[in-house]
A and B are shown apart, each in its own frame.
Chain A
Amino acid sequence: MSTHAWESLSNQAVAAAGVIYFLALLSHLVEWSALIGRRSAVAERKVLVGPAGAESSVPSSTEAPVDSEGAVGTSGSSGEDERATRAELFGRLGYLLTCIAVACHVVAIASRGFAAGRVPWGNMYEFTLAGTGIVAAVYVLLYRRLKLSWMAPAVVAFVLVFLMVAVLVLYTPVEPLTEALNSYWLVIHVISAALATGAFTLGGIASAMYLLKRRRPDTQTGWMARVPDLPVLDRVAYRIHAFGFPIWTFAVLISGPIWAHQAWGSYWNWDPKEVWAFITWVVYAGYLHARATAGWKGRNAAILALVGVATLWFNFIGINYFSTTSMHSYAAPAHVAAAAPAVPEALR
């Protein structure tokens, strides 16, 4: 296949993935609405049966949603039964669609790589494509193991939005790499950065869920009822962050400086991208430190995690619109910057 054929295959796969993610999101929203429908039913039952009855129908957080639905269904009306089946059906459909979309997504990333004849993360579009792909793939893989069904709408919505941003705003045709990028450090550095970004994003979603759930911890209805208990959420968030942090350390403080030193002659240049990567590192170091020593659990830790994820994504996209200093134009005649090995576009 020619470069153009691979490129158009990639574009079509991205479009297909986008449509299927959208369908998956719709399906999860239907599931969600079915769960909201349960609220009135349970509330009704609470009134009829009283506190003791209500307690018996409290679904345990770690229980599979099917079971809790079933438990309510057997004692509820037939309409409620129908709703429970619908929630289950659309939940499964949503997951299935997400799996298909991830497959398309992987095809899109791979064919992009074949089109360019290199690793497919040489610019912002490709990095976003790969980053969202990693978030979605990690979610699909951990879905059963960590019982992540409660995360579904948030993850799918996140992936869909960023994929749309990538296509609409960041799209660039396949280009060969500039000289400075032509290094195996590209593979090592960017893959670790993308992996850590994916982990921190999932961790951020878990922390956001924590804060939402915290406002009404005893909710027994609707979607929030399926979100695990606060301590479980807190622990899941911590584990994801603890997984991501060493990878981020490697990406930002080891592979990044080594590569920068080789390509630009200085391992740390204090340019905006580096500074913000460092800020993100410091915030997450603070998060882990606070949990380990200051005993910050729950709310404070979750807020810190959200600050971390904000700096992460600001660094990725926002800094380009704020920063007044172009990357690595430290050579005295400003024009030489154009001749100097171009800064990786993934960083611009």
Chain B
Amino acid sequence: MTVTEDRTPEREVAPIRELTPRELLRWGWRQLTSMRTALILLLLLALAAVPGSLIPQENLDSVKTSNWQAAHTTLAPIYRKLGLFDVYGTPWFAAVYILLMISLIGCIVPRLGVYWRGLRSQPPAAPRNLLRLPEATSYTTSASVEEVSARARAVLRRKRYRLRRASTSTLEGAGEVSAERGYLREAGNLVFHIAVIVVLVGFAVGSLFGYKGGVIVLQGDQYGFSNELTQYDDFDPGSLFRPSMLNWFNLHIHDFHVDWIDSGPRQGMARGFRSDLRYQTSPNGPTKSYDLEVNHPLDIGGTEVFLIGHGYAPEITVRDGQGNIVSSGPAVFLPEDQSFLSFGVVKPPSGQISLEGLFYPSEVTLPNGQPVNVTGDIGDGSDAVLSLQVWKGDNGLANGPQSIYSLDTSKMTQVTAPGGKAFNLRKGQTVTLPDGLGSVTFDGITRWNKLQISQTPFKHVALGGVVLALLGLLGSLFIRSRRVWVRARETTEGTLVEVAVLDRSGGDEMAAVVAGLVAALQGRPEEEPE
């Protein structure tokens, strides 16, 4: 191996003249991959992420976003043009992180080469004038040059420095030791930067090819869900997702348990809930069962099923004036609060009436006649009350799709119950509507589960990348990299020993390192163990 000088190449300063396109490109590339640009891009990324946290985002909460847009008629179109309702999907946000990634790659590749060469080469020879280095000292000793050099080699080797083999000095008759340690610091640094790219790739694949969907499934073997696009209530695919990527399975909720809190300030809320899920992964495959819980998802061949909510669906039968059933079965009511006071609507596709109302799983009437809900625990259902407002007229269902959780009453008139506005029913009760409009029956109660079903390809790549990044980070922060030179030469007063340290990591107290080295060289106990 030849002895080479390892010095960071200084940037050539070209005379000022017109740049050729090639040079311009080179210049642009250098600018993009410079540390300063990387730093600016990093801070720009932080800045670009801010609006998304302050303005409602369409894919996070579409209801809130449309409300906000309705309330801000001047700002909304401008914001929409700028993509501020979907910040993390806009081209300008993508531009920042793509530029950052290119800058990162442009930064890493040359550094890999430099690092590789640095690993193979020896620690650099001592500079001519050691005492000019910021951290340097000298002392005179009676030991010979050879003794000092040998001792320095032993001390530095013990401190796990890598030593330069050749010891020919630039100065006549002097003994020189060059040593370096902390090679892994730069390795950690490179690992960190590569890992960041791995994370970005993992994240990008996950959000481009993945999807996230939600569905409400009623409890009972007769209900269920099969993994098809049409079965989802809401579906949020990545931009490169194709429906063929959905894998085949079906599931149903056989049983469902809720653990209610029955004392304390949160009395009546659910502490935990668990579904006894049955599923099939192929049309003729066996039916398997799984206890689905929050924090305990089911993984079906890369598609994960999460239990994220639950509630009640009162079974309501609506009959018209002739006694024909126009609507029947469970209607999903959505919880309004933690005690599962729920709101829902029934919109029969035919017939004149529609219903909207509240469901009290466990109702108590206050002395002033006000009904309140005590707990979400429905017990045997004897305290459950369905309080319905009945509307007559066009529910708009014929005009196209609309939310099944709200009723547009603008073209309807209310049918009031005698003595009040709402019709209150207990389980099993039927109320006959005035004017021969028919009747409403509260047959029973079914529970429902809100499931989130998602596929996030490459999620383990992203996780592995972050863990790798953390390890690299630890290396780059806490491994100390420094070079040490010791030169001994004969003078009239004895052997003059010069010791110099070059800190390559920053943030260290080099004076203490120098003092420790000198102490070790002189055979004194070190004050500060290094």
Partner-B contacts on A (CB < 8 A): 3, 173-176, 178-180, 182-183, 185, 235, 238-239, 242, 245-246, 249-250, 253-254, 257-258, 261-272, 275-276, 278-279, 282-283, 285-286, 288-294, 311, 319, 322-326, 329-336, 338-342
Contact = CB atoms under 8 A, between A and B. Distances in A.
A185 B234 CA distance: 29
Interface in B38-63: 38-39, 42-43, 45-46, 49-50, 52-57, 59-63
A293 B459 contact: no
A323 B39 contact: no
8 smallest A-B Cβ distances: which pairs? A332-B234, A335-B334, A265-B306, A339-B309, A272-B53, A282-B46, A340-B309, A339-B335
Given A235-B509, A262-B297, 19 more contacts: A174-B265, A180-B294, A242-B477, A253-B466, A265-B212, A266-B212, A267-B456, A270-B57, A271-B60, A278-B49, A294-B39, A324-B54, A330-B212, A330-B236, A331-B214, A334-B63, A335-B343, A338-B334, A340-B309
Q: Give chain B's interface secondary structure class.
A: mixed
A179 B470 CA distance: 30
B62 A332 contact: yes
Given A324-B55, A331-B308, A341 B294 contact: yes
7 contacts: A176-B271, A182-B272, A246-B470, A286-B42, A324-B55, A324-B64, A329-B60
B375 to A, nearest CB: 15
Chain B: number of interface residues, binned into ranges = 35 or more
A254 B467 CA distance: 7
Interface in B129-172: none
Contacts of A291: 506-507
Contact of A250 (B233, B343, B470, B509): B470
Nearest to A4: B264
B501 to A, nearest CB: 16
Given A246-B470, A332-B214, A179 B273 contact: yes
Contacts of A263: 294-295, 306
A289 B273 CA distance: 46
A58 to B, nearest CB: 19
Contacts of B60: 269-271, 325, 329-330
Nearest to A262: B295
Contact of A264 (B216, B452, B470): B452
Given A246-B473, A279-B50, A332-B233, A235 B306 contact: no
Nearest to B86: A270
B59 to A, nearest CB: 7
Nearest to A186: B295
Contact of A265 (B233, B308, B340, B474): B308
Q: Give chain A's interface secondary structure class.
A: helix
Interface in B465-489: 466-467, 469-470, 473-474, 476-478
A282 B469 contact: no
B412 interface: no
B463 interface: yes
Contacts of A3: 264
A163 B252 CA distance: 49
Nearest to A292: B506
A140 B261 CA distance: 41
B179 to A, nearest CB: 22
B452 A289 contact: no
B423 interface: no
Contacts of A330: 59-61, 212, 236
B266 interface: yes
Nearest to A258: B463
B29 to A, nearest CB: 18
A293 B35 contact: yes
B114 to A, nearest CB: 14
B53 A275 contact: yes
B435 interface: no
Contacts of B45: 282
Nearest to A335: B334
A339 B269 CA distance: 10
A209 to B, nearest CB: 17
A235 B508 CA distance: 8
B50 A254 contact: no
A257 B306 CA distance: 15
A162 B74 CA distance: 40
Interface string B449-463: 010111010010011
